[in-house]
Amino acid sequence: MVVLNNPESLQEHISLGEVFQSFDDHRIPVIDMLKHDESVSLMVGACEEVGFFKVINHGVPMELMATLEAEAINFFSMNHKEKEKMGRVPNPYYYGSKNIGRNGDVGWIEYLLMQITTNTFNSAPVITTNINCFSRCGLNDYIMAMRKLSCQVLEMMAQGLGLQDKDAFSRLVMEEDSDTMFRLNHYPPCPHADGDGVGCNITGFGEHTDPQLISILRSNNTSGLQIALKDETWVTVPSDNTSFFVNIGDSLQVITNGRFKSVKHRVLANSLHSRVSMIYFGGPSPKEKIAALPVMMEEGEESNYREFTWCEYKMSAYKSKLGDDRLALFHK
């Protein structure tokens, strides 16, 4: 059972003033990983108020990020028929263009989705690549760096919530059969977009929330990503190829009984430049039961959601459209 390190900590809400002090000029929370003690509380505040934050001083070498970006660009520069040979199901690859999912959603996008398996000897994530554009070492080194960063972030969240078990969240993405995905998105320049894409009506990727626990995104220096605040205002996320951006997903919202917010986000097309983004999705084991932790509820309070397995929720999400409220089916 997960218990609180400090029973009073759930009643100690960080003030909005403190949260907004960590925001940049674009209303995006910024978390400095080198300032651990200060960042722990600010991260919890960002998860509660926005469900999204930017991570700086993360320790991931810029060379590692730049190398994988270059390999991704090489892949997306290939002939369309060559890219389509990647297959129609993640085994371990799935290439898609324009169509997003199986339920009619479309966007100004092409992507490569990768299913990450786990090396049972050392629990290191492994992708066996047969795509000439990608070096196996570079791809796996990047994914291992994302796995480490996701665990650091999830442990800081647990600490900030006052949980005695610092692995309460991180263990879910560290299990041998954790359902982890890696996605490369390419948004080509769009001749119908307006300026830098902000305010245009050409959608690269429609508004949605991520079903997993957390997502860690890194992109090149092309804008387009937007997040929705609590008041439904859309805020543009400035491009920054040296930093990472973390999304709270639906599963973590359920586990915290709604205290952390799964952020709605979208990508708008850009008329001048390609946007390349790399997203690591940290999900639990298919059999893992997703439910509000008892310590997330005050005495007498009930869970806002019924219990379900990750497999059940993932299958439900796949049957929905991007903009659907996927958690609505699981509210009590």
266, 275, 306, 326: which one is catalytic? Answer: 275
The residue among 165, 130, 170 whose CA lies nearest residue 148 is 170
d(CA 220, CA 218): 7
Question: Which residues 6+ apart lie within 8 Å of 222 measured at CB?
Answer: 187, 239, 270, 273, 274, 275, 276
Block residue for tokens 């509820």: 297
Q: Is 218 a catalytic residue?
A: no
Question: Kindly report the CA angle at 244 between 240 and 249, in degrees rounded to 5?
Answer: 130
d(CA 16, CA 113): 37
What is the 3-class SS of 34-88, one letter each residue?
CCHHHHHHHHHHHHHHCCEEEEECCCCCHHHHHHHHHHHHHHHCCCHHHHHCCCC
Block residue for tokens 């995104």: 217
Distance, CA of 40 to chain centre: 19
d(CA 254, CA 291): 6
Cβ contact 118:173 at 8 Å: no
Just list the catalytic residues: 275
